[in-house]
Amino acid sequence: MTRYPISLAVACLAAAVLVAGCASAPDRYYTLAAPDGPSSAAPASGAPVFIELAPVAVSERLARPQMVVHQAGGRSAEVALLEQHRWSSSFENELRDALSSGIAARLGAIDVTKGGRQPSTPAWRIAVQVRQFDAVENTRVDAALSWTVRRSDADLGATCQWRTSEPVGHGIDALAQGAQRVASNASDAIARHVAQLQQNPGATCTTP
């Protein structure tokens, strides 16, 4: 049996420990889509409801799959780009999918952005702009959105502005869950606005 010097064995063991310590943690992926089924924002009607949700407009710094996080207690202008904590797609696409499914579920509607309705059938066209989306680690998620809702067979549109601050617990998982709640609450607010316009096309935005 081949015998190695003790010093060589110790060196090999140290090298193995060093390699194991240098192994990177696996990437974590998150979604903004709510896991639970939302309640309806408007009574069901016999006629189908169609919505067209345009691509969500976000600032360039957010238009990426990596989570962009403010450090708690850090300088307000400093952010961290988390390479190992990512949305399942680029943030603006992830948010658009979450809003689309959330609004459609609350209204009992169909998102026909990619087709699926007759040209003569009106749809509610929704355009959303993210004016603020700041995730502060271990603290909160601050968000401000504005949107325009217009029926495809009408010239006038209605606008609304919405702001929220969602407290979160410790860690990136809690931060992602807070962002998910923000997307769900935004879906609620937009769906309520559309429901108001269904009842009264001249209604002003009363979303809190």
- State the pLDDT at residue 155: 79
Mean pLDDT of the chain: 84
What's the first-to-final CA gap in the chain, in angstroms? Answer: 78
What gap in Å lies between CA 157 and CA 109, rounded to an integer?
Answer: 19
Q: Which domains does the chain have, with CATH numbers?
A: 26-199 (3.40.50.10610)
**Short-list 106, 67, 114, 71, CA closest to 86:** 67
Nearest one of 167, 144, 151 to 49, comparing CA atoms: 151
pTM score, two decimals? Answer: 0.82
| Distance separating alpha carbons of residues 155 and 73, to the nearest angstrom | 47
Q: Name the nearest CA neighbour of 145 among 159, 131, 134.
A: 131
Taking residues 99-126, what's their average pLDDT? 86
137 burial via Cβ count (<10 Å: 0-12, 13-18, 19+): buried
Q: What is the dihedral of CA 74, 180, 131, 49, to 10 degrees?
A: 180
Average pLDDT over residues 84-106: 96
Q: Which residue has the higher pLDDT, 181 or 122?
A: 181
Asked if pLDDT for residue 45 goes beyond 90, the answer is no
Quick: pLDDT tens for 163-205.
999 999 999 999 999 999 999 999 999 999 999 998 888 777 8
- pLDDT for position 78: 83
